[in-house]
Amino acid sequence: MSALHANLHGNLHEMGVAELSRALTKKSVSSVEVTTHLLARVATHEHLGAWLCVDAGGALKQAHAADAARAQGHVGALLGIPLAHKDIFVTRDLPTTAGSKMLKGYQSPFDATVVQRLTAAGAVTLGKLNCDEFAMGSANENSAYSSVKNPWDITRVPGGSSGGSAAAVAARMLPAATGTDTGGSIRQPASFTGITGIKPTYGVCSRFGMIAFASSLDQAGPMARSAADCALLLSAMSGFDERDSTSAQRPPQDYAAQMLKARDGANSDQPLKGLRIGLPKEFFPAALAADVNGAVQAALAQLQRLGATLVDVSLPRTELSIPVYYIIAPAEASSNLSRFDGVRFGHRAAHYSDLQDMYKKSRAEGFGPEVKRRIMIGAYVLSHGYYDAYYLQAQKLRRMIADDFQACFKNQCDVIAGPVAPTVAWKLGGQGDDPVAAYLADIFTLPASLAGLPGMSLPVGFGEGGMPVGLQLIGNYFDEGRLLHTAHAFQQATDWHQRAPVLADEATT
Ligand code: GLN
């Protein structure tokens, strides 16, 4: 093997989607070589807890097929690119657990639309990634299988609920992965692990085959190292699906092209000239950690240097998004999770006296504490006598939160920016038994979720303990192209997204 070849192979895990795609097109590397290299890396970093299932045999078969397709002249940005899916997407060939004991050993008869589309685009599936049980959580500590460690500091959480996806991409086990975001589960783990993720507008990616948490909020999206790589995945994942009744009826989108499209009046020094970035004062409260604020302010200054102007705006109901979300999401969850009854899916208690007892025992054994808490809250706020006081009131406020964003986008700004989370990633076990502490930390991601708006997180620096800090960008409906364009311009001028954690077993002395 030539020195150049050896060097290239040593660095295969450093390459993102676009770079790998170019190497595959030039045939300087094969999908089988990349897949083999990454599978070895996955095996070495098992201690991070990112994976719930690894399918080496299946992945190599897909990689061979991708190489054969390329040899026959087939092309495609994702042809032969290794990926993996959050274990909330059902897969025909691999088990799906949703991070729950309830679905241990469950095998779906079909693939989720997102999985099917990425597979059809030629992506190679390495396996399934750990997540909080039914995507409920902010630290991946609610998984029934194992916690996930943050590759930047293994004593800290990777964020959640897409914690396995974030850790695997950050630790360079994968160039990209899928995630889902109901109240921040793509953006917050991306921020905590120094990667880039986008939650598109509600309805852009099909929810078919995504195990439902809160159906009016759930949305799939890509998690990768750069905006450019997210754009490639999103183009393949998104699009109308008649099997999801809330899927947006729009023609297929080329997000990579939208990302590159020059703004009117822009030039190479000032690619963001004319872009108005709104800074909601409620996103910069006194309680915001100084390290997070510092990195975010430096990123905003960088965006200004790229031509953007900063304007002060207000989202007055930001704080209310916490109680509103933590009424609506559990309400929908209590309804969605009623299907797990020990009859049609998953776990059934071994011993019971009658049907009622079987339901009770199966659910008591199958669900973890956070899921049970949410089912109870949801059943309560939907119950007769409380529905008007809680659920209906929350729905009214949800509309007002969405209206507040529209007031900003109408004539004040084109995108909104702020922190993703009030602090950097906290210590494993750091929130002890205090679920409300975790709920409060969702304050900056919940508003866009409730409004159904697209939001993304991109790495912009480091804070306390050397932990990554993310910048959140929120756009108007279907304005993913502008978010990606803004993030891409930032990433062309900076290298935060290229910083990789030094994993313990790789440290050189
Ligand atoms: N942290 C939020 C929750 O626990 C968001 C989860 C998500 O987006 N899936 O509900």
Q: Which atom of ligand 1 is nearest to the CA of 186?
A: 8
Overall domain count for the chain: 1
Q: Which residue of the set 21, 31, 86, 147 is catalytic?
A: 86
Asked whether residue 59 is domain-assigned, the answer is yes
Ligand 1 pocket, 159 CB below 6 A? no
What CATH code is carried by the domain that includes residue 136?
Answer: 3.90.1300.10
Name the burial class of residue 324, with classes exposed (0-12), middle (13-18) and buried (19+) by CB atoms within 10 angstroms of its CB: buried
Ligand 1 pocket, 138 CB below 6 A? yes
Asked whether residue 379 is domain-assigned, the answer is no
Digit-coded pLDDT (tens) for 450-496: 999 999 999 999 999 999 999 999 999 999 999 999 999 999 999 99
Q: Which atom of ligand 1 is nearest to the CA of 136?
A: 4
Q: Which residues contact 114 (CB under 8 A, 6 or more apart)?
A: 85, 89, 178, 205, 206, 209, 210, 220, 237
Asked whether residue 385 is domain-assigned, the answer is no
- 133 Cα–ligand 1 center, Å: 10
Q: Give pLDDT, residue 150.
A: 98
Asked whether residue 342 is domain-assigned, the answer is no
Would you place residue 4 in the very low, low, confident or very high pLDDT band (cuts 50, 70, 90)?
very low
Asked whether residue 215 is domain-assigned, the answer is yes
Q: Is 86 a catalytic residue?
A: yes
Percentage of the chain lying above the pLDDT 70 cut: 97
Q: Give pLDDT, residue 268.
A: 85
Would you place residue 392 in the very low, low, confident or very high pLDDT band (cuts 50, 70, 90)?
very high
**Average pLDDT score over the chain:** 96
Q: Which residue of the set 21, 108, 147, 161 is catalytic?
A: 161
Neighbouring-strand partners of residue 278: 311, 416
* pTM assigned to the model: 0.97
- 317 Cα–ligand 1 center, Å: 19
Q: Give pLDDT, residue 3.
A: 44
Asked whether the predicted pLDDT for residue 2 surpasses 70, the reply is no
Report d(CA 425, CA 427) in Å as an integer: 7
Residue whose CB lies within 8 A of the most ligand 1 atoms, among 100, 136, 337, for a mutation test: 136
Digit-coded pLDDT (tens) for 229-268: 999 999 999 999 999 999 999 999 999 999 999 888 888 8
Asked whether residue 260 is domain-assigned, the answer is yes
Report d(CA 260, CA 187) in Å as an integer: 22
Asked whether residue 312 is domain-assigned, the answer is yes
CA distances from 503 to 56, 125, 223 (A): 23, 24, 20
* Sole residue written with tokens 């959640």: 160
Q: Which atom of ligand 1 is nearest to the CA of 370?
A: 4
Report d(CA 394, CA 294) in Å as an integer: 34
Asked whether residue 354 is domain-assigned, the answer is no
Name the burial class of residue 7, with classes exposed (0-12), middle (13-18) and buried (19+) by CB atoms within 10 angstroms of its CB: exposed
Domain of 489? Answer: 3-322+390-495
